[in-house]
Amino acid sequence: MRIAVTRRIPDAGLALLAEAAEVVVWPKSLPPNREELIGLTAGADGLLTLLTERVDGELLDAVPTVRAVSNMAVGYDNIDVEAATTRGVVVCITPDVLTETTADFTFALLLAVARRVKPAADAVLRGEWKTWEPLGFLGQDVYGSTLGIIGMGRIGQAVARRARGFAMTILYTDQAPRPEIENEVGARFVGIDQLLRESDVVSLHVPLTRETRKMIGAEQLRMMKRSAILINTARGGVIDTEALADALESGTIWAAGLDVTDPEPLPADHRLLRLPNVLVTPHIASASEVTRTRMARLAAENLLAALRGERPPRSINWEAVRGHAQS
């Protein structure tokens, strides 16, 4: 068996793959471009991808030996699942193992933005800390505030559980109410407009799909409080980037914490990066040593199972691929 891996991943994942297959790993730190990816994957049975690789019909047609693609991520907006399914290619992802780590980071961003940690620490580095200032770096209280969660999936729920410790009022919106979890996490279902109007903090936890692309634009930002904070640890494309930059520049909302952006990465001279009320981090919400190791291991287990013809632990089209093969 031959497996292509599009970047160096934690050793635990690579070791699992190497026990069962010949493994080729893209050696550079930047992702392979299309041509390089085709070259790397030529003749491979399986492909282990990251969210930086676009997997579509064109790619799969260029590497017809590939029978399974395992994405080391819970999000799979980089993969055309329909194109994979119709070509009999199994697609796998790595949910659950990163939920708590991502929720931790959502709170890290939220607290850092609300309490202006970065501008304050930067001022210290510049030698500007001269005394205790009664009016210096005033932020927003998180404790007791209202949190609006857009997308109450696994990560949204984990964020809500943390918010209870901060005595936050929790509103959420989703495709439908989820009464089974409302009691557990202490959240109330509302429509998106009400959530935007009433929340002090809005946190995004939806996948990027045709329906969610740019779901937060100028109109939605105008509905938010002028003191509101927007946090995004989901996908950059869920927000209209230029509308957000306008809103932050004009004071339509108070601040934003973004672990994901559109485009990603943002060009170094993008105006968002110069605003004092924005904190941008490089898509690191799942980046703990333990979690990235778990993601690598699960991605490897998924891929090996699919290539052996067994049901992978976490596939999104296993049934569909089998159904397609039988029809």
Catalytic residues: 235, 264, 283
Q: How far apart are CA 201 and CA 216, in angstroms?
A: 14
Q: Which of residues 43-72 bind ligand DGY (CB under 6 A)?
A: 51
Q: How far is the CB of 239 from ligand DGY (least distance, A)?
A: 15
Q: Which residues contact 222 (CB under 8 A, 6 or more apart)?
A: 247, 252
Instruction: Show the site string, 259-288: x = touches ligand DGY by CB under 6 A, - = not.
Output: ---------------------------x--
DSSP 51-67: TTS-B-HHHHHHSTT--
In this chain, which of 59, 68, 69, 74 binds ligand DGY, going by CB under 6 A? 74
Q: How far is the CB of 98 from ligand DGY (least distance, A)?
A: 5
- Counting residues that bind ligand DGY (by CB under 6 A) gives 6
Residue 148 or 237 with smaller CB distance to ligand DGY: 237
Q: How far is the CB of 91 from ligand DGY (least distance, A)?
A: 14
In this chain, which of 44, 55, 73, 168 binds ligand DGY, going by CB under 6 A? 73
**Interface with ligand DGY includes 298 (CB under 6 A)?**
no
Residue 60 or 73 with smaller CB distance to ligand DGY: 73
Q: Which of residues 93-112 bind ligand DGY (CB under 6 A)?
A: 98
Helix/strand/coil percent split, the chain, to 5: 40, 15, 45
Residue 220: C-alpha distances to residues 174, 192, 194, 205, 217 (Å): 16, 9, 11, 16, 5
Stretch that binds ligand DGY, among 41-49, 73-81, 103-111, 165-173 (CB under 6 A): 73-81
**Interface with ligand DGY includes 247 (CB under 6 A)?**
no
With beta carbons less than 8 A apart as the criterion, state whether 93 and 74 touch. Answer: yes
- Burial (CB count <10 Å: 0-12, 13-18, 19+), residue 179: exposed
Sign of CA dihedral 160, 138, 228, 51: negative
Residue 51 or 90 with smaller CB distance to ligand DGY: 51
Q: How far is the CB of 78 from ligand DGY (least distance, A)?
A: 9
Q: Strands, E, within the chain: which ranges?
A: 2-5, 22-25, 46-49, 68-71, 90-92, 146-150, 169-173, 187-189, 201-204, 229-232, 255-258, 278-280
- List residues binding ligand DGY (CB under 6 A): 51, 73-75, 98, 286
